[in-house]
Structures are given as C-alpha cells and as structure tokens.
Amino acid sequence: MGKRKSSAKPPPKKRMDKLDTVFSCPFCSHGTSVECRIDMKNLIGEASCRICQESFSTTITALSEPIDVEWIDECERVNNHEDDGDGA
C-alpha cells in the first residue's frame, strides 16, 4: 500500500514594508522633524513640524497614507502667492 501524495502548501504572503510617518521639514530643513497623523474618524490628515511649529492639515480618504499628507505643493502655492503680492 502506497502513501498518499500530500499537496504542497502555498508560499507565505510577502509583507509590505510600512511607509514612513516622519519626514524632513521644507521650511527649517530639519530631518525627521515633521510628523504626520491621520484621523480616520474625522477624515483629516495633519503634518506638523516639531522644530518650527509649522503645520498643515487636509482632508483625506479611506485609502490615504501618512505620505499622502505632504505639504510641498501647498508650500509652493503659498510662496508663489506671497511673491506676487510683494511688488508694490
């Protein structure tokens, strides 16, 4: 009597690396000083710098990650708007 052939187990699933929640500040250029927090209950994402106290908040979706709460585009928009108003 022969032994029954066992089926091969499926390979284990690869785990995704976690994304960073701490970034460098575009205003004061300190590394790892900006912390991003996501409030899924209120759908608000907030990025704030511990050194220069700059902060930015935006609305998020259910698919948002901390890296999505970037304020670089907002910084450029504000800087360009301030440059336009200086010409007196």
Tokens encoding 36? 């991003």
Compute the residue count for the chain: 88
Report the C-alpha gap between 82 and 46 in whole angstroms.
23
pTM, 2 dp? 0.57
**The pLDDT of residue 15:** 80
**The pLDDT of residue 3:** 74
Starting at the edge strand that comes first in sequence, how are the strands of the sheet with 34-39 ordered?
22-23, 34-39, 44-49, 55-59
Q: Does the CA dihedral 25-30-31-37 come out positive or negative?
A: negative
User: Which regions in the chain score pLDDT beneath 50?
Assistant: 87-88
Identity of the amino acid at 88: A
